[in-house]
Structure formats: C-alpha cells, structure tokens
Amino acid sequence: MQKKQEISMIRSVNLFTIGFTKKTAQQFFEALVNVGVKSVIDTRLNNVSQLAGFTKRADLEYFKKKIGDIKYVHIMDMAPSKDILDAYKKNNGDWETYEKKFLKLMSDRQIENKISPELLDGGCLLCSEAKAHYCHRRLVAEYLSDKWGNCTIILLQKKQPKTLIIA
C-alpha cells in the first residue's frame, strides 16, 4: 500500500501501448511521435527474431533515437515466461488460463516495485500483437494501474489512440 500512496502523490502516469504487427514502419513510428512518446518499453520475451522485422532490438534502438529522440528499454520482467507463452501460442491454450498465469507471474515478480512510474510516464509498452485485447502488454498496463493507481492507459492503434482506463 505504501507504493500506491507514493504514486498518488505524483501526477498521473500516462502509459501508452502499441503492437507492431499489421502496421507499416511509417504507421508505427508516426503513432509514437504524434502522441509524444518519451520511451518505448519492450515487453517481448524474444526481441531479436526475424519475425520482429523493423522492431528487432538493435534496429528499434536506432530508429527510435533517429526518428523521434525516443529512448528504448527492454524489461524482461514484463514478458511472459517461455512456458506460459508456449502453452498459449504453440499448444493452443485458452486466454483465461494464460491471463491468470501471467498475472500471477507479474505478482510473483512484483514488477510494481521494480519499475518506477517516472520511467513509464510518457512511455509506451511494446509487443507484437496488433490489438491489445488478447495481449500481455494490456495485462501489464492494467496490472500496474491497479497497483499504482493514478494511471491513464492509451492504446495506440492504426486510427486514433483509444484511452482504455483512467484510474
């Protein structure tokens, strides 16, 4: 409870989320620049795969700095474990089971105590899923909002950004 009280004493945290699939590089980077994202927080378990395209770790670090003077950080504590991800993706697991396991993992990791709200304020959680509904980045954002309070979560989509939660 101490942490939530400390967070409420600072101004509201604006936290963006974005997935890179089904977006061109132009759509992706313009979405970040247009809303004034300060940093991209990579929440992927594997950020060097060929499937990552223009969002492979080294490329992303370069593009973010050159295009929008945006910082890049990869936080593994915000990624699901390989076991949890494989059970869902490779073994056709159901979303409810994935969500429960991932929420427990974040709780066990106590990510709310390892990551500062200042780092995430104006930051954007990144993963691959095009939409946030069945995506762990949404779960991370909601989890932190629940733990910290005082968070506004904005989903960056192809069209206009959508505010998901104001807590």
pLDDT in tens, 62-107: 776 677 788 888 899 999 999 999 999 888 889 999 999 999 999 9
Q: Which domain holds residue 69?
A: 2-166
Closest CA to 137 of 152, 126, 122, 153: 126
Domains of the chain: total:
1
Among 142, 167, 149, 166, CA closest to 17: 142
Cβ-contact 125, 43 below 8 angstroms: yes
Rounded to an integer, what distance in angstroms lies between the CA atom of residue 94 and that of residue 12? 34
Span 15-67, pLDDT tens digits? 999 988 888 888 888 889 899 999 999 898 876 665 556 666 666 667 766 77
pTM, whole model, 2 decimals? 0.83
Question: What DSSP string runs through 21-61?
Answer: TT--HHHHHHHHHHTT--EEEE--S--SSGGGGGGSHHHHH
